[in-house]
Amino acid sequence: MFSVFLKVMDFAVPILIMIFLGLFGTGILIELGFMQKFSGIVKPLFKHTNLPDTCASSFLIALGSTVAANGMVVNFKENGCINDKEAILCAMLNSTPAYVREIITYQIPIVLPALGPVVGGFYVMVFILTAIVKVSIIIIASKIFLTKNKCEYGETVSSKKVTLKDAVKKSLKRNRRLFTKIAVIYLSMTTIVFILRERGAFEIFSVLPLADLFGIPAESIVPLTSYVASPILGISLLGPMISSNGISYLQAMIVLMLGSMFMLPIFSIRALLPRYIAIFGPKVGIRIVAISSGISILVRFCILLILLSIAA
């Protein structure tokens, strides 16, 4: 049990530090009035949607840090500026800049060289398509489920000019209880997830029966299973099979779609769910993770069906 506790602390402490910096950092920026000045940069992107104006300001922060942006969203929710539906769509939109960062830091330097231009390029395009679909669904959902909310972040804080010292004090006062609640929930959820993993609860996501069902070579089970545990490891094992013609391009694409479909629920439960529940609470946090992950899985499932129809 003590070893689990050490693993939880090793995993959770860096995340909690990011959440702390996100909450208090954005709070300071709001108190100093920086967000009022710079949110106009991204507001034109939102004028044809029913997303609240506060979403534009948090999206600006999300270009640098998703955690900080979501800390901003939960502040507005706590202050009654936005409701649950608006918080869900804002948080989902805040996750999309991470796609750009991941393409630059992961897809291009790691995936493309490992899988080659054909399969690697396909994987990158799936990633881009997922981001486009997610943004499109968010925009459409905002039109269907929301009416335009005029509440702005400037209305929830003092309009008087404050010094940096005062801004720090106000941010600490505003966010201290919220961060404590987030930390307690996040540590509790992460501990539960680690205990479940130690007891093999995630082994239900077995991919062993899939080789015959989807017409992929039996030897591809190793990279497929590895991908579910670690995408980088799976890609590293799949690359040599592609280059040695042990698996065709089409079969490799099928393996990648299968692997990512099985990996996403595990990743969502292990990493995203504790974080979003800690920040937004169980009701909103679970819905954000379920909808966002569901969109990603749906995109891959549709592409998998297309690939299987070509292979047939």
Domain membership of residue 186 (yes or no) is no
pLDDT cut 70: percent of the chain above it: 83
Q: How confident is the model at residue 29 (pLDDT cuts 50, 70, 90)?
A: confident
Count of domains observed in the chain: 2
Domain membership of residue 23 (yes or no) is no
Q: Are residue 130 and residue 244 in the same domain, yes or no?
A: no
Average predicted confidence (pLDDT) for the chain? 81
Residue 144 has a pLDDT of 94
Q: Are residue 205 and residue 135 in the same domain, yes or no?
A: no
Over residues 184-195, the mean pLDDT reads 81
Q: Are residue 39 and residue 91 in the same domain, yes or no?
A: yes
Q: How confident is the model at residue 156 (pLDDT cuts 50, 70, 90)?
A: very low
Q: Are residue 148 and residue 246 in the same domain, yes or no?
A: no
Domain membership of residue 268 (yes or no) is yes
Q: Are residue 134 and residue 205 in the same domain, yes or no?
A: no
Q: Which residue has the higher pLDDT, 111 or 211?
A: 111
Q: Are residue 137 and residue 231 in the same domain, yes or no?
A: no
Q: Which residue has the higher pLDDT, 76 or 161?
A: 76
Tokens of residue 148, six digits:
């335009």
Domain membership of residue 61 (yes or no) is yes
Domain membership of residue 183 (yes or no) is no
Domain membership of residue 223 (yes or no) is yes
Domain membership of residue 244 (yes or no) is yes
Q: Are residue 107 and residue 210 in the same domain, yes or no?
A: no
Q: Are residue 96 and residue 43 in the same domain, yes or no?
A: yes
Domain membership of residue 308 (yes or no) is yes
Domain range for 289:
200-312
Q: Which residue has the higher pLDDT, 155 or 300?
A: 300
Over residues 173-200, the mean pLDDT reads 79
